[in-house]
Amino acid sequence: MNHAVSSHQGNLYIEQMPLDAIANQFGTPCYVYSKAAISANFLAYQNALADKAHLICYAVKANSNIAVLQTLAELGAGFDIVSVGELERVLRAGGDPSKVVFSGVAKTASDLQRALELGIHCFNVESEAELELLNQTAANCGLIAAVSLRVNPDVDAQTHPYISTGLKENKFGIDINLAPQVYQRAAQMSHINVVGVDCHIGSQLVDIAPFVAALERLLLLVDQLSELGIALEHIDIGGGLGVRYNNEQPPTAENYMAAVLPLLQGRSETLVLEPGRSIVANAGVLLTEVQYLKGNGEKNFAIVDAAMNDMIRPALYQAWMDIQPVVSSDVPAAVYDVVGPVCETGDFLAKERSLAISAGDRLCLFSAGAYGFVMSSNYNSRTRAPELMVDGDQVHLIRRRETIDDLLSGEQLLPTAG
């Protein structure tokens, strides 16, 4: 697994930069990413698909910092977006709109219009109502919208229920059994060009079988459509490949593609992927500093300066993320709950971990590059952490720490009486 962090003589490094030096220079909490790891994770997909027409659309939601997007755009990545905000980020980062796919259940007319005007690769349409709005909007703009229908293959991704998306009970996509009739309607619409089919069954999948089951169902649909005279140009199998947080053994991008490619043997459709987590999760960490240690006889708490507003995955999904001191020490280890300053019992980064730490030590929360900063908030009026990108022995500030002025900008007092 491509882990960006290494340990030399008790010090943790990202590429050639000691994490302690980064914390000294930029303060804590802070997010740190490795450019080399992001690139390697992307290239693993690209190399595995060298012999197949493909488009790898990085899922921007996983980590949308424009320097991350720039790194991927320079390698030729396309992008999977779910909002106009993400689309503007892609443009700002130098991404190519003709390699953008637009997912999401609730696109508005103005979202559709902006994306149409930029000439994106395709809209992943999630309902008949959206299809109608898209046709209307395209007609108003005098443009043709390239469309892929996101179908729901009713496959159990066997992941956390909050990040499982391919079951009938989930809000995403169009029931695969109803898809042929929606495709037939789409094919008759004046400003719609049907180009593909799309699915995304969930995130953090550590087993290949559900991906294969979903693709088999998609291929049956593609063949059925072809009999109806609707020929598709691409098949988009979404994102979802898991990463190692603890002791999971997820397939590599290469393993995954080795299972997918035989199913596409002899087919001319381009393969589209939307990986997010597997590109960035293990390329990033969150650094935090121990403020206080306290114990109540039953439990020990390490109170750190990062909180659920900085990294919500443990609180929201009971996600297990590894946490280790940035510099090892020889103080006796004890079992701690690592908790933040936010006034909620759910505010923890890790529970019951054996750590040899003292107040003032820095801790590294691993695999924090995906769904970390992007899900952060200002809860408790906390300013959001900076983001840094390490490239060899250089560290670049790619988002500065928020200030109190940032926090209050946009707010206004009521007019005073009289």
Applying CB under 6 A, among 65, 148, 164, 204 the residue interacting with ligand LLP is 204
Residues numbered 119-158 forming contacts with ligand LLP, rule: CB under 6 A: none
2 is a site residue for ligand LLP (CB under 6 A): no
Applying CB under 6 A, among 13, 45, 371, 373 the residue interacting with ligand LLP is 371
To ligand LLP, the closest distance from the beta carbon of 200 in angstroms equals 4
To ligand LLP, the closest distance from the beta carbon of 277 in angstroms equals 3
Applying CB under 6 A, among 40, 163, 206, 397 the residue interacting with ligand LLP is 163
Strands 11-14, 5-8: pairing is antiparallel
Residues numbered 241-260 forming contacts with ligand LLP, rule: CB under 6 A: 241
Q: Which is nearer to ligand LLP, 200 or 353 (CB)?
A: 200
Binding mask 54-73 for ligand LLP (x = CB under 6 A): -----x--x-----------
234 is a site residue for ligand LLP (CB under 6 A): no
Give how far the C-alpha of residue 263 lies from the chain's centroid of Cα atoms, to the nearest Å.
26
Applying CB under 6 A, among 200, 217, 382, 384 the residue interacting with ligand LLP is 200
User: 329 and 400 in contact (C-beta within 8 Å)?
Assistant: no
User: 227 and 275 in contact (C-beta within 8 Å)?
Assistant: no
User: 255 and 243 in contact (C-beta within 8 Å)?
Assistant: no
- Catalytic, out of 57, 141, 199, 343: 343
User: 260 and 252 in contact (C-beta within 8 Å)?
Assistant: no
Q: CA end-to-end span of the chain, whole Å? A: 66
Q: How distant, in Å, are the alpha carbons of 43, 65, 130, 243, 417 from that of 69?
A: 14, 6, 28, 20, 49
Q: Which is nearer to ligand LLP, 247 or 381 (CB)?
A: 247
Provide the token pair at 20. 């302690």
366-394: burial string, b at 16+ Cβ within 10 Å, e else: bbbbbbbbbebeeeeebebbbbbbbbeee
How far is residue 271's CA from residue 394's CA, in Å, rounded to a whole number? Answer: 36
Q: Which of left, alpha, beta for 365 (phi over 0: left; psi -120 to 50: alpha)?
A: beta
Q: 199 catalytic, yes or no?
A: no
User: 264 and 232 in contact (C-beta within 8 Å)?
Assistant: no
Q: Which is nearer to ligand LLP, 39 or 203 (CB)?
A: 203
Alpha carbons within 13 angstroms on the beta-carbon side of residue 36 total: 14
Q: How distant, in Å, are the alpha carbons of 71, 126, 188, 229 from that of 226?
A: 38, 21, 15, 5
> Within the chain, what is the greatest distance between any pair of CA atoms?
78
Applying CB under 6 A, among 153, 238, 325, 369 the residue interacting with ligand LLP is 238
314 is a site residue for ligand LLP (CB under 6 A): no
Residues numbered 322-351 forming contacts with ligand LLP, rule: CB under 6 A: none
Q: Which is nearer to ligand LLP, 107 or 277 (CB)?
A: 277
Stretch that binds ligand LLP, among 27-35, 184-192, 200-208, 388-396 (CB under 6 A): 200-208
How far is residue 133's CA from residue 112's CA, in Å, rounded to a whole number? Answer: 9
Applying CB under 6 A, among 239, 325, 340, 369 the residue interacting with ligand LLP is 239
- Cβ-in-10-Å burial (0-12, 13-18, 19+) of 50 comes to exposed
Q: Which is nearer to ligand LLP, 147 or 290 (CB)?
A: 147
Residues numbered 101-120 forming contacts with ligand LLP, rule: CB under 6 A: 103
To ligand LLP, the closest distance from the beta carbon of 54 in angstroms equals 15
- Kindly state the number of chain residues that form the binding site for ligand LLP, as judged by CB under 6 A: 20
Stretch that binds ligand LLP, among 19-27, 31-39, 187-195, 196-204 (CB under 6 A): 196-204
Binding mask 264-303 for ligand LLP (x = CB under 6 A): ----------xxxxx-------------------------
Q: How distant, in Å, are the alpha carbons of 109, 119, 284, 316 from that of 114?
A: 9, 9, 32, 33
Q: Which is nearer to ligand LLP, 250 or 340 (CB)?
A: 250
Give the residue numbers annotated as catalytic, written as ranges.
343
Task: Please report, as ranges, the residues that interact with ligand LLP according to CB under 6 A.
Answer: 59, 62, 80, 103, 163, 200, 203-204, 238-241, 274-278, 313, 317, 371
